[in-house]
Amino acid sequence: MPEATVARLPVYLRALITLAERGTATCSSEELATAAGVNSAKLRKDLSYLGSYGTRGVGYDVEYLRYQIAREIGVTQDWPVVIVGIGNLGHALANYSGFSSRGFRIAALLDADPARAGDRVGDLLVSDFDQVEAVVAEHGVAIGVIATPAPAAQDVCDRLVAAGVTSILNFAPTVLSVPEGVDVRKVDLSIELQILAYHEQRKALADGRAVGLLDELASDLPGVVAR
């Protein structure tokens, strides 16, 4: 399955969950594509990798397709997750209720700051990062979330990998080096904001050019007042 398709499957799953919560029993590919923010041809091609779950003239059974995508992604089981770095971002992630409803269980919260050890976040207590090996072994953790400052992220990553973690979600603004067989997904909020700033700047420049053109036209036409 192409990586681009894999990346869109969680988007389809989220759209199906929303449709199910609204009481929608069946939906067409066009309706699902609109809910997911993609075109219907791309959606149909993506779903073809999973098999044929649609019925001509009827569409997709929302609950059934939701289950099939969840099974393909692997979120029909309970995945224990450890979060390292319990600052503001780590707190927010630990308190996010959406994890449990999507197949993820926060098994432990770890931080290298001794002052944070014993702090309660939701139903969990923060433990010292030195316990990482024991925590990973006890809970069978395969997924780790790094929410530390950038300078600490690589050392944290190395400890997680050595402990047996094979998938990492990295919120630290740095590139991690991992051995073969370990998957890393990077979430850099500052980069996403910079991309939005780029688009805003492009729109402002386009608006400025449009205003300039209108002013030129107005100056050339008798009886029209320029801006």
Around 170, how many Cα atoms within 13 Å sit in the side-chain half-sphere? Answer: 27
pLDDT of residue 212: 66
Query: What pTM did the predictor assign?
Result: 0.71
Tell me, what amino acid is at 182? Answer: V
pLDDT of residue 57: 62
Query: Do the bridges between strand 183-186 and strand 167-170 make them parallel or antiparallel, or are there none, so unpaired?
Result: parallel
pLDDT of residue 226: 47
- For the record, the structure tokens of 110 come out as 């770890």
CA distances 140 to 80, 131, 135, 153, 161, Å, are 7, 14, 8, 22, 13
pLDDT of residue 113: 92
Residue 119, number of CB atoms within 10 A of its CB: 15
Biggest CA pair distance of the chain: 82
Tell me, what amino acid is at 100? Answer: S
pLDDT of residue 83: 96
Residue for token pair 């107005």: 218
φ, ψ at 173 (rounded to 5°): -80, 65
Each residue's pLDDT tens digit in the chain (227 positions)? Answer: 788 888 888 888 889 888 888 888 988 888 889 998 888 888 888 888 887 666 666 788 888 888 888 888 777 778 899 999 999 999 999 988 778 777 788 999 999 999 898 899 988 999 999 999 999 999 999 999 999 999 999 999 999 999 999 999 999 999 999 999 999 999 888 888 888 888 888 888 777 666 666 666 666 655 544 44
